[in-house]
């Protein structure tokens, strides 16, 4: 699958390690079965954020609204007063974010080409800048930016949660590029697809009469499965290494590192059809 010329391929073994962890999180047995976690997470009458993050309206695809900020806050991401103003009031930050947002088309991460990935990065960095400028907030700007991106383009952006990144062995890279490439491979892997679809069906079954509002895309379902699993006490993360400053995309710094035209092709073209609500 092609990547931008300035990006570096995922290092050997990283995807395999992440996949092993994903398969653990998708286990339907044990003390924290995935279907039970997802049924709770997407319960409209419950107190988890899943259903609200999916359907809280209005959802203007080309604007960042107070509703989006609230939805992000429901995930536990603190959106302080300064960043709220930067995102919602007329400002250089808001103008930059909206211009970048309108360039990112509604498509699936699995089939995102180099041009789409570059536009995703522009949007992500613009949003991260709104958090970074705040200065006094204790929220990792990468987490805040990823959450807004996931709200606005749910089929393209993983949430980028810190604990999930540690669990998957990605945190040490400190690279959104590595994260996106690994997630793109995960949602195209046949084992992951099979277990995600089974988890979806089982969550609806165990949900019974509860009103579940399950995500329509595999990427979002994977995010939910990982997020809910890392909040259990049975998590054994991959021990992360030191941050890899030699990789392009380190701390969102584009333009450094070796130049590659793309990664070896993989059988990743089977796309997930949106689920019925």
pLDDT tens, residue by residue, 16-58 = 999 999 999 999 998 899 999 998 888 877 667 777 787 788 8
**203 and 35 in contact (C-beta within 8 Å)?**
yes
Cα–Cα distance for residue pair 149/75, rounded to 1 Å: 13
Cα-Cα end-to-end distance for the chain: 30
pLDDT at 257: 33
**234 and 32 in contact (C-beta within 8 Å)?**
yes
**126 and 91 in contact (C-beta within 8 Å)?**
no
Cα–Cα distance for residue pair 39/34, rounded to 1 Å: 9
* pTM greater than the 0.85 cutoff: no
**Under DSSP, is residue 167 helix (H, G, I), strand (E, B) or coil?**
helix
For the chain, how many helices (H) and strands (E)? 12, 0
Q: For the chain, what is the domain count?
A: 1
Closest CA to 227 of 55, 59, 15, 40: 40
Q: At what angle do helices 218-230 and 14-25 cross, to 10 degrees?
A: 80
Domain that holds residue 205: 14-230
- Residue 263 belongs to a domain: no
- Residue 67 belongs to a domain: yes
Q: Grade residue 183 by pLDDT with cuts at 50, 70 and 90.
A: very high
Higher pLDDT, 248 or 103: 103
Cα–Cα distance for residue pair 84/165, rounded to 1 Å: 26
pLDDT at 3: 96
Cα–Cα distance for residue pair 129/91, rounded to 1 Å: 12
pLDDT at 135: 57
- Residue 36 belongs to a domain: yes
Cα–Cα distance for residue pair 141/12, rounded to 1 Å: 28
Higher pLDDT, 144 or 58: 144
**164 and 230 in contact (C-beta within 8 Å)?**
yes
Cα angle, residue 35 at apex, residues 107 and 192 outer, rounded to 5°: 45
DSSP string, 17-29: HHHHHHHHHT-SS
pLDDT at 133: 72
pLDDT at 247: 42
Per-residue pLDDT tens digits for 205-242 = 887 777 776 766 899 999 999 999 998 866 666 654 44
DSSP string, 197-249: HHHHHHHHHHHTTS-B---SSHHHHHHHHHHHHHTSTT--PPPP-S--TTSTT
- Residue 92 belongs to a domain: yes
- Residue 210 belongs to a domain: yes
Tell me the percentage of the chain whose pLDDT exceeds 90: 59
Mean pLDDT of the chain, nearest integer: 83
């Amino acid at each position: 699958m092609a990547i931008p010329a300035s990006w570096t391929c995922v290092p050997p073994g990283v995807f395999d390690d992440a996949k092993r962890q994903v398969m653990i999180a998708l286990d339907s047995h044990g003390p924290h079965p995935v279907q039970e976690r997802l049924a709770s997470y997407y319960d409209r009458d419950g107190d988890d954020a899943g259903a609200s993050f999916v359907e809280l309206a209005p959802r203007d695809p080309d604007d960042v609204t107070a509703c989006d900020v609230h939805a992000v806050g429901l995930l536990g991401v603190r959106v302080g007063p300064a960043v709220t103003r930067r995102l919602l009031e007329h400002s250089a930050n808001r103008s930059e974010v909206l211009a970048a947002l309108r360039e990112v088309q509604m498509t699936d991460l699995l089939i995102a080409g180099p041009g789409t990935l570059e536009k995703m990065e522009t949007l992500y960095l613009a949003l991260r800048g709104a958090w970074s400028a705040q200065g006094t907030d204790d929220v990792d700007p990468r987490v805040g930016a990823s959450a807004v991106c996931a709200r606005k383009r749910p089929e393209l952006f993983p949430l980028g949660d810190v604990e999930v990144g540690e669990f998957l062995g990605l945190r040490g890279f400190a690279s959104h590029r590595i994260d996106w490439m690994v997630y793109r491979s995960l949602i195209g892997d046949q084992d992951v697809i099979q277990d995600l679809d089974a988890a979806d069906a089982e969550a609806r079954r165990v949900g019974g009469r509860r009103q579940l509002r399950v995500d329509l895309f595999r990427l979002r379902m994977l995010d939910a499965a990982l997020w809910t699993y890392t909040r259990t006490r049975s998590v054994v993360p991959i021990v992360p290494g030191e941050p890899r400053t030699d990789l392009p995309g380190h701390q969102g710094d584009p333009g450094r590192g070796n130049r590659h035209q793309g990664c070896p092709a993989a059988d990743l073209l089977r796309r997930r059809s949106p689920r019925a609500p």
